[in-house]
Amino acid sequence: MNTDGTQDAHGAHADPVPRPAGPPPTAAPASDVPSQPARPPAAGQLAGIPPRPVRAPGAPALPDGSGFLAWLRAPRPDAAPGIWRFGHRPRPAEEPEVVPARQLLSGALIAFLVGWLIWSLLWNGYLGGWWLLPLYAMIPDSWAEPHSFAAVVAVYTYYTVVALVIMVGVGRLGRWSEVWRRYGPPAWRRAGPRAEPPPTPSEDPAEWPQLRAAGAQEAADRLAAEARAGLMRDVDHARITRAWQGVRSGRHNLAAFTRAVLKDGAAACLHPSGERDLPVRAARHDLATAQVRIGTTADDPRNPYQYRGTGLALGPDLLGTSLLAVGPAGSGKTSSVVRPLAESLCLQALAGRAAVVVVGAAGAGLGPADAYDVVVRIGDPESAYDLDLYGGTHDPDEAAAVLAEALVGDLADPHPGGGSRRSTTVLAQLLGPFHAVHGRFPSVPELRQLLDGAPGPLGALRKALTDAGQQAMLRELDARERQLGHPGDLGSVLADRIALLDRPAFAAFFDTSGQGRPFSLRALDHPVRVRIDLPERGHADASRILARLVLAQFTASAAVREDRSLFACLVLDDATGAVTPEAVRGIQRLRSANAGAVLTLRTLDDVPRPLRGPLLGSTGCRMALSGLTPWDGQDFAEVWGKEWTEARDVTDRQIIAETPLGKTVHVLRRVITGNAPTARAVTVRQVERERWSASELAHGVPPGHAVLSLTNVRGEHAPPLLVDLRS
């Protein structure tokens, strides 16, 4: 751990020692947790003497914890993949049939008038007295005396029963119950906020019942008091919950956890950086469910009914299957997708739940530098960190495989069976002997000279190996020298590619002497936050090499982590040139390692044609933003497939009335329904159609929207959804 609060180049402590909390923060409260006014001054002030100020003039009001408690106690019901669970109200899976308001109210009124007419006809005797026969059959002769009390009660009871029967009949015909639900008090109660009953102490998350059940009563009391006092925030709750999960799994000691909580309260078990929140939040986060909201599912008939109008959110359960977002420049990939996801993963890292590496061009708007532990600015002389060219490994073969993927991975055969084994062999023939002599791998200039076959460096390396008696490494070097200058030798190609990194702008980078501060992706065992700025401007080819290098190192390091309970994620803004056959295979392996990758592309044309299908198939979450070309839309339409839908062919034939009564009925029908009287013939058949066609994706997605399909790590799917990324 460095004094400036950033991570060490090779990682940080996995289980940080709790630190004492600093003064109460004055930053804005967490998302969805509104700030509260300051507490009233304590009682007992002397009359006539103004109370002592509780804070300096102009300072923000201190919270009282009610906002945090409201956030913590908010309902989060289980929902389908991608639904924003904070305060979500589940909807039925199928859309209920809704009668138009005009038709519903007209039918209810006409049914009432019909019932009134029937009762009037019965009451005035126009239909005869047959409806009174049951009354006469049931009344005893002793009650038949006129104006007796029993007779009056019996008769009017019978009238009431008959009236109720008529009312129930016409009410069912006129759908009065639906009118009551849509326009009566039930609709008023639904429109207003629904007050949730206060939770019981055994179910109140603010009282930490899981700690009390395990015997940590004092720790639970301390945390509950801090929450009520406004000294706890969502990151603190998530971080302490994560530490408690370590206690339950046996990785931490209960006594040590209790001591840390009693000592530091809500500031216990801090992240190694000592930070308890990000400097700024640009998106809505819910750390209780590890979700970040990126938009709202449009109220569109093509979306399933249970998704319409709900918030759409992403979390580790979805990112664990990786995400591919494709859209032209200006469609919102960075601002609406990459930035919120990077921010959410940084919050998860502060809570000890995730490790994140964000890669993008310098100045791409990936968040402030203060939000990260390590910021590697390649090509910037003021960068405090360097990038380890060999991924922190000491195995020459592993280092050669990763470096070969970065240098010539885009030149490998993209068809199945293609690879970069030959280039890996060439590099291993040089890295192994060099490491055996010097105890380190060569720097960029040294590797370039060795690949060029310069007699001086090769001769010096041979002499050092001979003096050290390294016969095995001498055979590797002999094999490399025999291949020099032969047709098809990849050494010259590798030398040309490594020359792109042997530029004056990168002279202070990729140091292997041990004097710099190289960052290695071996640090993914720890909750580290990393941002790597690529020199896209002026060094586009070098940036693509470095992007492939980081992607290859990430897929290799994520698979060999010791602590896989941490979710590791790579966010690669603009993966142009980084998608190779080995990268696709590496992304497929991330899901089983509790890791994922987020890749963005301007167009699928930046990916070789044989790799487009495997790339779309290896990612569980696929996003097509507005402005897509029809060619890109065709690839998405193919991977999303087709579905069986019910096609209804309706044929309307207008009915012409010839009699005055028929014309009157038609006029009445037009008033009720709003349509001309027609005879309708409906043909229903099952057809198979594309979920989203290439034309719809290219021309039917409004600006600021995207079509997104989701798959979580448990295998649950969400069909392609039209999402408004601006809300």
Dist CA 476 CA 464 (whole Å)? 14
Question: Is the pLDDT reported for residue 655 higher than 60?
Answer: yes
Instruction: Let me know the angle formed at the C-alpha of 584 by 704 and 594, rounded to the nearest 5 degrees.
Output: 80
Question: How do the domains of the chain map onto residue ranges?
Answer: 101-174, 205-267, 279-385+517-641+691-726, 396-506
pLDDT value of residue 196: 62
pLDDT value of residue 299: 92
pLDDT value of residue 182: 86
CB 140: neighbour CB atoms within 10 A?
9
pLDDT averaged over every residue in the chain: 85
pLDDT value of residue 53: 46
Quick: pLDDT tens for 433-450. 999 999 999 999 999 999
Q: Which residues lie below 8 Å from residue 313, measured CB to CB, with a gap of 6+?
A: 82, 83, 84, 85, 286, 289, 291, 292, 293, 294
Question: Is the pLDDT reported for residue 398 higher than 90?
Answer: yes
Question: Is the pLDDT reported for residue 52 higher than 90?
Answer: no
Question: Is the pLDDT reported for residue 617 higher than 90?
Answer: yes
User: What is this structure's pTM?
Assistant: 0.81
Dist CA 132 CA 66 (whole Å)? 67
**What confidence tier does 28 reach under pLDDT thresholds 50, 70, 90?**
very low
CA distances from 344 to 137, 233, 235, 326, 489 (A): 78, 15, 11, 21, 46
Question: Is the pLDDT reported for residue 146 higher than 70?
Answer: no
Quick: pLDDT tens for 562-576. 888 999 999 999 999
**What confidence tier does 16 reach under pLDDT thresholds 50, 70, 90?**
very low
pLDDT value of residue 415: 57
Question: Is the pLDDT reported for residue 17 higher than 80?
Answer: no
Dist CA 89 CA 100 (whole Å)? 24
**What confidence tier does 144 reach under pLDDT thresholds 50, 70, 90?**
low
Tokens (6 digits) for 377: 């600015």
* Average confidence (pLDDT) over 594-623: 95
CA distances from 402 to 398, 411, 424 (A): 6, 14, 8
**Main-chain dihedrals φ then ψ at residue 670, nearest 5 degrees:** -65, -40
**What confidence tier does 657 reach under pLDDT thresholds 50, 70, 90?**
confident
Chain centroid offset of residue 156 CA = 66
Tokens (6 digits) for 23: 């003064």
Cβ–Cβ under 8 Å, residues 452 and 401: no
* Average confidence (pLDDT) over 470-488: 89
Q: Which residues of 209-224 are buried (b: 16+ CB within 10 A; e: fewer)?
A: bebbebebeebbbbbb
Question: Is the pLDDT reported for residue 51 higher than 70?
Answer: no
* Average confidence (pLDDT) over 151-159: 84
pLDDT value of residue 662: 81
Question: Is the pLDDT reported for residue 402 higher than 80?
Answer: yes
Quick: pLDDT tens for 481-538. 998 878 888 899 999 999 999 999 998 899 888 887 889 998 999 999 999 999 988 8
pLDDT value of residue 473: 93
For domain 279-385+517-641+691-726, give the CATH number: 3.40.50.300
Output 589 or 30, whichever has higher pLDDT.
589
Quick: pLDDT tens for 100-123. 888 888 989 999 999 999 999 988
Question: Is the pLDDT reported for residue 356 higher than 80?
Answer: yes
Output 226 or 137, whichever has higher pLDDT.
226
Dist CA 471 CA 76 (whole Å)? 65
pLDDT value of residue 361: 92
pLDDT value of residue 48: 39
**What confidence tier does 666 reach under pLDDT thresholds 50, 70, 90?**
confident
Cα–Cα nearest to 277, from 33, 76, 55:
33
Region of 659 on the Ramachandran plot (φ > 0 left; ψ -120 to 50 alpha; else beta) = beta
pLDDT value of residue 143: 65
pLDDT value of residue 47: 39
Quick: pLDDT tens for 234-273. 999 999 999 999 999 888 899 999 999 999 999 999 999 9
Question: Is the pLDDT reported for residue 91 higher than 60?
Answer: yes
Tokens (6 digits) for 595: 């890791």
Strand partners, 360: 533
CB 447: neighbour CB atoms within 10 A?
25
Question: Is the pLDDT reported for residue 45 higher than 60?
Answer: no
Cα–Cα nearest to 66, from 27, 37, 90:
37
pLDDT value of residue 345: 97
Question: Is the pLDDT reported for residue 145 higher than 70?
Answer: no
Q: Which residues lie below 8 Å from residue 179, measured CB to CB, with a gap of 6+?
A: 104, 105, 108
User: Mean pLDDT lowest for which of 25-34, 132-141, 233-242, 604-613?
Assistant: 25-34
Dist CA 42 CA 536 (whole Å)? 59
Quick: pLDDT tens for 386-397. 999 998 899 999
Cα–Cα nearest to 494, from 424, 579, 552, 546:
424
* Average confidence (pLDDT) over 420-433: 90
Dist CA 397 CA 55 (whole Å)? 62
